[in-house]
Amino acid sequence: MRKFSVAQGSYPASAVSEFAKVMTVGLVLMGSCLSLQSFAQTTGANAAPIKPPVYIGFDDAYGQKTNTSAMSIEWGIKAAMEDINAAGGVLDGRPLKLITTDNKGITARGKDNFIELAATKDLVAVLAGKFSPIIVEMVPEAQRLKVPLISVWGSADLITDHSDKPSFTFRLSLKDEWGVEAMMKRLSAKHKARKACAILPNTEWGRSAERVILNKSAQQKIQFPVVRWYNWGDASLKTHYQSCLDSQSQGVLLVANEKEAAVLIKEIGERPQAQRLPVVSHWGAVGGTLHELAKDELSSVRVEFIQTFTFINNKRPRTLALADWILKNTDLKDSRDIPSPVGAAHAYDMVYLLASAIQINKTTNPEKIRDGLEKLPAFSGAVRDYSKPFSENRHDALDKSQLLFVTLSPSGRLIPQD
């Protein structure tokens, strides 16, 4: 957040004495002018009193050069805010305003950012972006400070599945409980895999996926004889992939962001065609510039990515409005080229839901906003029609009915399959 200070000058006593009379007259005139200006602002025919904004915070890894989720989510937030503010704002004319922080992909920084944002006067909630491990570490602070924390990308189950009551964490995003299960089903149904390997990050995101694999593999009739773990920043995944081949796996379930996904795709692309297993990937891989990092190999490796939303052939009114706003406010010329589309759509819908909670409860008190989110009326958004977005026992606004799979073109387009 940007912090401003006002510099103040000082004058020697002699100067004050010498110009005392002049300064006195000047102050009187200045006071008269300010009074007239204030009167004009509050009583002019075309003017209204300036009302203080209502803040929504957003934290994501802006500082990671290959990450596209942060900017896309910000577009969704701003598009919704602009529409809401143009229609009169909230609480009798108060505008919504965004405050952003950059966690740079570092857990401790994200946690500190949440605490800083939560202390902002008239802030109603903090939206969190791409990195599940960071969001999971924010959860205790959200509970302690009693400020709603809302994931619009992170999928780890623990973001909303915790025992603290009342819960201050919400999600309008994919959840691993049903997202990873769908990835397993994709390997089994489309790629006819009866045995697959999982390559997972050594983070809470990876452990969230592993729990689903252990609990759901029998139901999906697919075995995972090999589960291999990597650390963010690893330069090679060759030994992990060789373990997949050695186990006679028929496919790979990958949980990764764009950098590690690029490493694996490039290394698979170097192998003979017969050794290139199909890959079903989590969506962090297309929350960045994967198409640039592995451009030459994308056409030679069979890889699909899970999603909850697409702009392509989507005629929902709010989807069209969101796409129109993004194209008008960026250099993009085609909605098919909008990067990280799920982030923009999730955030857009979530800002509308927050505005509804503010209006219904007539407050900016975060605790009352939390209560209000559980009692929201139906809403037709960009992602879906929400009959009841959240409830006391369900803090996830989406479900598996929104799921689809996409491929990634060399230009960065996410093309829906089936």
The whole-angstrom distance between residue 284's C-alpha and the CA centroid of its chain comes to: 11
Residue 371, judged by CB atoms within 10 A of its CB (0-12, 13-18, 19+), counts as middle
- Which whole number is the average pLDDT over 258-281? 97
* In the block, residue with structure tokens 């740079």: 104
Distance between CA atoms of residues 60 and 401, nearest Å: 27
Tokens representing 379?
Answer: 């809403």
pLDDT at res. 11:
32
pLDDT at res. 48:
62
pLDDT at res. 34:
37
Query: Taking all residues of the chain, what is their mean pLDDT, rounded to a whole number?
Result: 90
8 Å CB contact between 71 and 129: no
Distance between CA atoms of residues 125 and 122, nearest Å: 9
Q: Report residue 211's pLDDT band, with 50, 70 and 90 as the boundaries.
A: very high
8 Å CB contact between 142 and 114: yes
Distance between CA atoms of residues 99 and 107, nearest Å: 19
DSSP state of 64: -
Q: Report residue 8's pLDDT band, with 50, 70 and 90 as the boundaries.
A: very low
Q: Please state, in angstroms and as integers, the Cα–Cα distance from residue 288 to each residue in 70, 138, 165, 352, following that order.
A: 10, 23, 35, 26
8 Å CB contact between 154 and 173: yes
Longest dimension (CA), the chain: 93
40: pLDDT strictly greater than 50:
no
Distance between CA atoms of residues 28 and 20, nearest Å: 12
Residue 225: cis peptide before it, omega within 30 degrees of 0 = no
**Nearest of 144, 207, 141, 197 to residue 176 by alpha carbon:** 207
Full-prediction pTM beyond 0.85? yes
Tokens representing 324?
Answer: 């129109």
DSSP state of 388: S
Q: Report residue 47's pLDDT band, with 50, 70 and 90 as the boundaries.
A: low
Strand 223-230 relative to strand 195-201, pairing: parallel
pLDDT at res. 307:
98
Going along the chain from its start, the domains and CATH numbers come out as 54-174+313-399 (3.40.50.2300), 177-307 (3.40.50.2300)
Tokens representing 240?
Answer: 């992990």
Distant-in-sequence, close-in-space partners of 60: CB < 8 Å, separation ≥ 6: 67, 69, 70, 73, 100, 102, 103, 128, 129, 130, 131, 153
Stronger pLDDT, 220 or 353, i.e. the higher one: 353
Distance between CA atoms of residues 266 and 258, nearest Å: 12
pLDDT at res. 22:
33
Residue range 73-113, pLDDT digits in tens: 999 999 999 999 999 999 999 999 999 999 999 999 999 99
pLDDT at res. 218:
87
- Which whole number is the average pLDDT over 185-203? 97
**Nearest of 103, 165, 166 to residue 137 by alpha carbon:** 103
Identify residue 245 by its one-letter amino acid code: L
